[in-house]
Structure 1
Amino acid sequence: MSFLWTAHRFAGGALALDVANSVVLRFDPGRRIDRFADAAAMDTFAAAANLYGAERERFGPLLPAPPENHKSLLALREAIDRHFRKQVQDDARPDLLADLLETIAAVLRRTKNDHDHVALDVATAHSALSLVTNPEPDRLKICPNCEWLFFDRSRNRSRTWCDMAVCGNRTKAKRHYRRNKEGVQP
């Protein structure tokens, strides 16, 4: 299945969150889509992150994760989602943090040093470590529309949606439709 990565897919504000958000409708088993189920999509994600990712300057040109590391990248993605989702929900659990750190360590142990290029799995591990040590954990949020994780970089920490142009507009359109259907005027 061919898939095009767009700027909206990188609304998380951190590479680790964008990787975690590669599962669409995560909690709807009937409609859940794993964008990394296809290895080719996982590889094109790295190229798209070079264009749209919030941390593209930090890591330089990202390379796809080597095929032998795809499984560990998927394990890292799931550990990132579990830990940070619980943290945002004020249900931080030491076991999930330990699991995330162990998964990060496993990815980094397999790293071959290449100072000019960083593979997607390694960059994701470093991004997750930055989020773990972030002094402002309240900037991590969950979009009320799509349930993606995102890092609120707004000055006053008032960002509500992962992407105003997509999720914000959808939410506002639903609200408008509901008001008109019920005959309620604003």
Structure 2
Amino acid sequence: MTFTWTAHRFAGGALALDVANSVILRFDAARRIDRFADVAALDAFADAANRFGAESTRFGTLSPVAEQNRARLLRLREATDRHFRAQAAAEHRADLMADLLEAIAAVLRSTDHGGRAAIALDTATAHSALSLTANPEPERLKICPNCGWLFLDKSRNRSRTWCDMAVCGNRSKAKRHYHRSREEAQG
């Protein structure tokens, strides 16, 4: 199956959240898709994040993760998802924070500072996750009720509901309209 990264896939508002959201339907074992299981998709993610990501200018040009660092990125992705999903649900768990900090440290320890112009995706993701841990407004971290993705609500009044109004918001509204129309037709 061919996959293309689109702007919608970068609706998280932070690189670390976009990486965490690379697992589609995370809690549906029958339909779960890990986009990073395909090495070509993982390698293409860095380029797509350069074009579509909210933090694309913060880190400069992102480069793909070196093969020997992929396992560390996946560990960081899972720790990021667990910690920030709990935080969005107002569950403050020290064990999840410790796991996240250990995953961040493992990535940063393996970082090659060889003077390259580009920063590796795993290193940038670690920096992004670390920045999110110091977020002074944790109530801005939300979970999309349609797809389950994590996102930062950057709206002025903190009223954003979906990760992406054009995709999840429209799907939710269309679903409500369908059910409402069906109920009216049935009586």
**Distance in 1 of aligned mates of 2:105 and 2:54:** 23
1:81 alignment partner, SS class? helix
Q: Which amino acid aligns with 1:140?
A: L
Return the offset for 1:91. 1.2
* Root mean square deviation, CA, Å: 1.0
Return the offset for 1:24. 0.2
Q: Which amino acid aligns with 1:93?
A: R
**Distance in 2 of aligned mates of 1:29 and 1:119:** 30
Structure 2 residue 108 is the aligned partner of structure 1 residue 130: no
Return the offset for 1:116. 2.4
- Residue 102 of structure 1 corresponds to 102
**Distance in 1 of aligned mates of 2:116 and 2:143:** 34
- Residue 173 of structure 2 corresponds to 172
- Residue 37 of structure 1 corresponds to 37
Q: Which amino acid aligns with 1:15?
A: L
**Distance in 1 of aligned mates of 2:128 and 2:19:** 10
Amino-acid identity (%)? 71
- Residue 93 of structure 2 corresponds to 93
**Distance in 1 of aligned mates of 2:136 and 2:119:** 25
Runs (4 or more) in structure 1 with deviation over 2 Å come to none
Please, what TM-score do these two structures have when normalized by structure 2? 0.96
Please, what TM-score do these two structures have when normalized by structure 1? 0.97
**Distance in 1 of aligned mates of 2:112 and 2:139:** 34
Return the offset for 1:83. 0.3
- Residue 17 of structure 2 corresponds to 17
1:13 alignment partner, SS class? coil
Aligned length: 184
Q: Which amino acid aligns with 1:38?
A: D
- Residue 73 of structure 1 corresponds to 73
